[in-house]
Structure 1
Amino acid sequence: MAPVKLIYFDVTALGEPIRYILHYSDTEFEDERLTSEQFGPRKPTFPLGKLPVLELDGKTVHQSVAISRYLAKKAGLAGKDDWESLLCDIAVDSILDLKSAFSGFHYDNNEESKKTKKELALSTTIPYYLGKFEEILKENGGHFVNGQLTWADFWFAGLADYLNYMAGKDILADSPGLKALKTKVEELPAIKKYLANRPAVRF
């Protein structure tokens, strides 16, 4: 079997949930981290010119959610049946909706509109999503889906530091359930070991 390789930037962001799932499943893989300068010349070699990509079995695949779902199924993290698999998809899509609220202001190059968007997102949109997520966790034993560890939990925990970076503060300060879930995932032996040895990252 060809070795597995994850190619992403030298940050957490969309690559971290995938790294979490790979480490949790005890999959041996190469974690190739590119700088922006290294990415430029190689961009045409990647599907759609974007990262992350996963190389496995001699093939190269892209799209972070699709990669995560595939790996989660192999790792037993995609729910026990089709219904729970659907709930995982819904949770991850909702987490990505939350991320979009951050990206909407963080990547705005106009400082005036960026400030306005950030204030609105931090006062309205983001607290709304965090509140809904807290309710979901209370109903599901501290997890996103039916009281069990799934890739949805990995996606939230893996993205949390990136969201904090974009917000410029701890967005989980008033979200005890989400904070506890992040800690729970990070304390899993395989994830804890990875984090202890993780290369220095900007966020």
Structure 2
Amino acid sequence: MANRKTKLTYFDAAGRAEILRLLLTYAGKEFEDNRISRDKWPEIKPTTPFGQVPVVEIDGKVFGQTVAIANFFASEFGLYGKTNLDRLRIDQLVQLIEDFVQEVGKVYREPDEAKKAELEKKVKEEAAPKYLGFIEKMLNENKGQRLLGDSDTYGDIVIYDLVTGFLGPYTATAVEQSPLVKALAERIGNNDRIKAYKAKHN
């Protein structure tokens, strides 16, 4: 994607766009990080493919859906493994984390504050340890340092985003009981490009 003009549009927050920013950053790709304010959203919403963000504009064509865009970036940047089985392993991890996102989504959607607090506690104390336990096992099956093989992939960057992005407050306690996940996140976070990006936006 060296010669493609890329514009990523999302709110000025990590949220659902952060994995896309991380993939672009890790791969060393230049892109326009178009961070919009909430008050501009009603104006921008009708211009998006599905009435939601993030969206990415590549050479003048606009695409939506976070996972679809991330899969494309991973493929374009050589971060999607070497075989179809590698991609299946990455995809199952991504889907697993999407399941966790749905658990967290219940907290955001709950209007009753008491019930919201109860749901948040349940996510942190039950769901997060369960999902990170699954990921810990997956890492252990590959000697612990990466999801697969001996070089970083989309899967490793997704794990990093899981514990440092918008899901971070929900996984913080569980990460301390997941040494392989914690070590992987620290390693990705020490990547020069990622470190510079985080220093700028945190």
TM-score, with structure 2 as normaliser? 0.90
- In structure 1, C-alpha distance between the alignment counterparts of 2:162 and 2:107, rounded to whole Å: 17
What secondary structure, in the 3-state scheme, does the structure 1 residue paired with 2:57 have? strand
- State the shift of 1:37 in Å: 1.0
Q: Deviations over 1:2-52 (max 9, x none)?
A: 521000111112111111111122211100111211212111111111000
The amino acid of 2:180's aligned partner reads G
The amino acid of 1:144's aligned partner reads L
The yes-or-no answer on 1:80 pairing with 2:85 is no
Which of residues 139, 142, 151 in structure 2 aligns to 1:140?
142
Which residue of 2 is the match for residue 39 of structure 1?
41
Which residue of 1 is the match for residue 197 of structure 2?
194
- In structure 1, C-alpha distance between the alignment counterparts of 2:111 and 2:162, rounded to whole Å: 22
What secondary structure, in the 3-state scheme, does the structure 1 residue paired with 2:119 have? helix
Contact 1:15 1:52 in 2 (8 A): yes
- State the shift of 1:53 in Å: 0.4
List gaps (5 residues or longer) in structure 1. Answer: none
Which of residues 145, 165, 168 in structure 2 aligns to 1:164?
168
- State the shift of 1:170 in Å: 4.2
- Which protein, 1 or 2, shows the higher relative CO under an 8 Å CA cutoff with sep ≥ 6? 1
Q: Deviations over 1:143-200 (max 9, x none)?
A: 22344311121122123231133x39544122211111111111112212212222x5
> Which 4+ residue blocks in structure 1 deviate beyond 6 angstroms?
none
Q: Percent identity?
A: 31
TM-score, with structure 1 as normaliser? 0.89
Contact 2:10 2:55 in 1 (8 A): yes
Count of residue correspondences: 198
Which residue of 2 is the match for residue 53 of structure 1?
55
Contact 2:163 2:171 in 1 (8 A): no
Q: Deviations over 1:77-132 (max 9, x none)?
A: 00101110111111111111122222222332211321232233223222111111
- In structure 2, C-alpha distance between the alignment counterparts of 1:120 and 1:83, rounded to whole Å: 34
The yes-or-no answer on 1:109 pairing with 2:111 is yes
The amino acid of 2:192's aligned partner reads P
Q: 1:13/1:27 Cα in 2 relative to 1: closer, same or farther (>3 Å)?
A: same
The amino acid of 1:192's aligned partner reads K
What secondary structure, in the 3-state scheme, does the structure 2 residue paired with 1:7 have? strand
Contact 1:17 1:155 in 2 (8 A): yes
Q: 1:8/1:159 Cα in 2 relative to 1: closer, same or farther (>3 Å)?
A: farther
